[in-house]
Structure 1
Amino acid sequence: MTAGTVVLVRHGRTAYNATLRLQGQIDIPLDDVGRWQAAEGAAALASSHRADRIVTSDLTRAADTAAAYAASYGGPVVQTDARLRERSFGAWEGLLASEIRESWPDEYDAWRRGAEPAAAGAESKADVAARMLAAVAEHAESMGEDETLVLVSHGAAISLGVTALLGLDATAWRGLSGMHNVHWSHLHRAAAGATPSWRLVAHNVGAGYPIDHWQAGPDWNLEPGPESA
């Protein structure tokens, strides 16, 4: 047996997200907008998916997003699994793109083309995909086909995990768009013997706000307009 539905959710916004710093596995908390996103996203997610099991990365930004989702509908106790952490980016963590480009120009250009930033000491795509795939399989295997598993994780880790669940080469295939904060991917288990074992039903789904409003937070409509500039 295995869960029939798997949903992978990205955490809410942090100060590093807002300033475009590469987070990796630095344990950054949600900012005010991120907490609002977690609450709004939780209600939207619970309206379509009520998890029978919730598992989160042990990093604070993911764990707090998972807690908001569980609280929104009285869901099960949230479990943690370090395999759902973000990809480690080694020496690049905490830096702006401009800072990375200045110190590692060749590595940065190669990374933007999809190569591995080996000189930075980053975790490989293959390793991230493997640990994500193992976590999904382990948590799903004891669940029933009518049950839903929700996992709260991170942008790069989710993209690599979904790619692996679809049976694609996570080291080379780059066909998924990046995830917005508190948006999710939804997969269904395929019929026995089918290839791949999982089918992607939806990707990068959220609470329904225009993305500029979502990123600005609850006070988006209080931003000064051109007439007040």
Structure 2
Amino acid sequence: MSEKRPTIYLIRHGETDWNAEGRLQGQQDIPLNAVGRVQAEEAGARLRGLVLDYGSLDYVASPMGRTRETMERMRDAVFLDPSQYRLDDRLVELTFGSWEGMTWKEVRKKDPQAAAMRERDKWNFVPPDGGESYAMLAGRIRPFLDDLTRDAVVVAHGGVARAFLALACGVSTRHAASIDIWQGKILVIEGRKHYWA
């Protein structure tokens, strides 16, 4: 990555019913709920207040339905063509394997040893049955960051945001894996600094 990286305006997709229930979504394609649709529009209003020339930014989203809908509602809220953005498969959320659809309480009950292992090392733990660790996710995200050539709005997922913080901002992997990633707000990454708007 170059020393002067473009500014990233990272937006986590709006709320889904599974978010509201505390279920692990991972790569399950759960749609936005009513709250999530409002959060997407609120993110657009925040962007409009944050960036004067927001129409000139690059707009990139994970190809999952909840991120596409968030991007389209956000763009519509700032009077941009909702369809004019690109998708990047590298931005897909990490997969929780066989844990997807479960709450953390259900995971701890069904698989207490694996849940305890994850708590000890969230960044490197690989969930069972095809899961993906944050470290593996970061391997997908690093080339995306390297490929950015201009300031960008990125609509993605909580895990992706945590990988961005570790890779772009130097947040320790232990801390990055546990940071709350808000819906409806914008995580601004400028060089090695980051803040919520």
Kindly indicate whether the alpha-carbon contact (under 8 Å) linking 1:70 and 1:78 is maintained by their aligned counterparts in 2. no
Aligned to 2:94: 87
Higher relative contact order (CA 8 A, sep 6+): 2
Alignment of 1:1-229 (within 5 A): 4-49=6-51, 50=54, 52-75=57-80, 77-115=84-122, 116-138=125-147, 140-141=148-149, 143=150, 148-167=151-170, 170=173, 172-174=174-176, 177-188=179-190, 198-203=191-196, 205=197
1:130-186 Cα distance to aligned partner (Å, 9 max, x none): 212211221x22x3xxxx21110001111112211124564x444762111122221
**How many Å apart are 1:106 and its aligned residue?**
0.8
Kindly report the root-mean-square deviation, in angstroms, between the aligned alpha carbons of the 2 structures: 2.2
Q: State the alpha-carbon separation in 2 of the partners of residues 123 and 6 from structure 1.
A: 24
- Displacement of 1:7 in angstroms is 1.3
Unaligned residue ranges in structure 1 (runs of 5+):
189-197, 206-229
Cα distance 1:176–1:93, how it changes in 2: closer, same or farther (>3 A)? Answer: closer
Give the SS at the match of 1:100.
helix
Does the aligned pair in 1 maintain the 2:134–2:163 contact within 8 Å? yes
Separation in 1, partners of 2:176, 2:153:
23
CA distance in 1, matches of 2:164, 2:59: 17
2:98/2:127 contact within 8 Å kept: no
**Residue 12 of structure 1 contacts residue 181 of structure 1 at CA under 8 Å; is this kept in 2?**
yes
State the secondary structure of the residue aligned to 1:63. helix
- Percent of aligned positions that are identical: 29
Please state whether the residue corresponding to 1:9 is helix, strand or coil: strand
Shift of 1:45: 1.9
Q: TM-score, normalised by structure 1?
A: 0.74
Give the Cα separation in 2 of the matches to 1:169 and 1:201. Answer: 14
* SS of alignment partner, residue 151 of structure 1: strand
Q: Secondary structure at the match of 2:39?
A: helix
Tell me the TM-score normalised to structure 2 length.
0.85
Unpaired segments of 5 or more residues in structure 2? none
Residues in 2 aligned to 1:136 and 1:182: alpha-carbon distance in whole angstroms: 22
Contact 1:128/1:161 (<8 A) preserved = no
Aligned residues: 188
**Kindly tell me: are residues 53 and 174 of structure 1, through their superposed partners in 2, closer, same or farther at Cα, counting changes over 3 Å?**
closer
